[in-house]
Amino acid sequence: MAPHAMPEAPASLTGKDLKIGIVHTRWNKEVVQALVTGTIERLQSLGVTKDNIIVQQIAGSWELPIATKKLIHAGRVQQGNSQNLLSGLDPLSSPDAPSTPVTTQKRGEFDAIISIGVLVKGSTQHFEYIAGAATDGLMRVSLDENVPVVFGVLTCNNEEQARSRAGLVEGGLENHGPSWAESAVELANLSGKWSKGEFN
Ligand code: RBF
């Protein structure tokens, strides 16, 4: 096995019925876009439907922790709204009530969030500060909110290394996006079971 080969996901992995959020940065756009595409394609090949993959864009990695937290909360707001909507409807007494919008999107809480950004070491100390803050911040959000947050942040010495980790260099490394998708689906499924006290 190559030193940084990514571990293989369990063959039984399925993303059916999961709702996954992706929040990604605009900095280092080409690399980020390749990572986001790799992530989305793998989520879909695992059975997550297009409607259940919510993609949001922000400026830079510094903002990833707060954006991830806000996205988690947005899912909860949606859950509250759909509950209010349903409780206000009495199909027997209001036959003309507007029908629920046609969408196959799962309402409410995200099962996992994948936070994606690329930091390239430059001549300033920003790299260290932003990388440290994004790393600590994303871990904190995940634990505080009790939602799996996948760390999709690349910290690279240069542009070439970043491109390689996004699968953009011929003969280089694999795109990391698919492995982030697998981590999200795996932990989302396990979390769903554990929250019901089930292990199998
Ligand atoms: N954001 C990134 O996602 N990746 C970077 O490589 C990156 N480098 C930066 C370098 C400098 C000197 C500055 C000022 C910002 C950089 N940012 C980068 C943006 C940062 O994460 C954040 O969006 C801005 O600082 C605004 O809060």
pLDDT band at 10 (very low <50, low <70, confident <90, very high): confident
| pLDDT tens by residue, 105-159 | 898 999 999 999 999 998 778 999 999 999 999 999 999 999 999 999 999 999 9
> Residue ranges per domain, the chain?
20-87+104-194
User: Among 25, 29, 126, 159, which is best to mutate for testing ligand 1, by the most ligand atoms less than 8 A from CB?
Assistant: 126
Q: Which fold has domain 20-87+104-194?
A: Rossmann fold (3.40.50)
What average pLDDT score do residues 17-43 get? 97
Best residue for ligand 1 mutational test, from 130, 135, 138 (most atoms within 8 Å of Cβ): 130
131 lines ligand 1 (CB under 6 A): no
The angle at the Cα of 36, spanning 32 to 39, to the nearest 5 degrees, equals 140
Active site residues: 126
Distance CA 115, CA 125 (A): 22
Tell me, what's the pLDDT at 1?
Answer: 42
Pocket test for ligand 1, best of 27, 35, 64, 129 (most atoms within 8 A of CB): 27
CA of 62 to the centre of ligand 1 (A): 7
Give the separation between CA 80 and CA 163, rounded to whole angstroms: 41
d(CA 180, CA 71): 18
- Residue 77 in this model has a pLDDT that exceeds 90: yes
Contact 166, 177 (CB under 8 A): yes
From start to end of the chain, where are the E strands?
20-25, 53-58, 112-120, 149-156
Ligand 1 pocket, residue 97 CB under 6 Å: no
**pLDDT digits 0-9 by tens, 92-101:** 545 555 555 5
d(CA 71, CA 164) in angstroms, rounded, equals: 29
**pTM attached to this predicted model:** 0.89
For ligand 1, atom 24, name the residue with the nearest CA. Answer: 60
pLDDT at 9: 82
The two structure tokens encoding residue 90: 């009495």
Nearest CA to ligand 1 atom 7: 119
Residue 42 has pLDDT above 80, yes or no: yes
In the chain, the percentage of residues whose pLDDT exceeds 70 is: 87
Does 28 contact ligand 1 (Cβ within 6 A)?
yes
Q: Is the CB of 120 under 6 A from ligand 1?
A: yes
| C-alpha closest to that of 119 among 180, 31, 3 | 31
Q: Kindly give the distance from the C-alpha atom of residue 115 to the centroid of ligand 1, in angstroms, as a whole number.
A: 15
Ligand 1 center–CA 126 separation, angstroms: 7
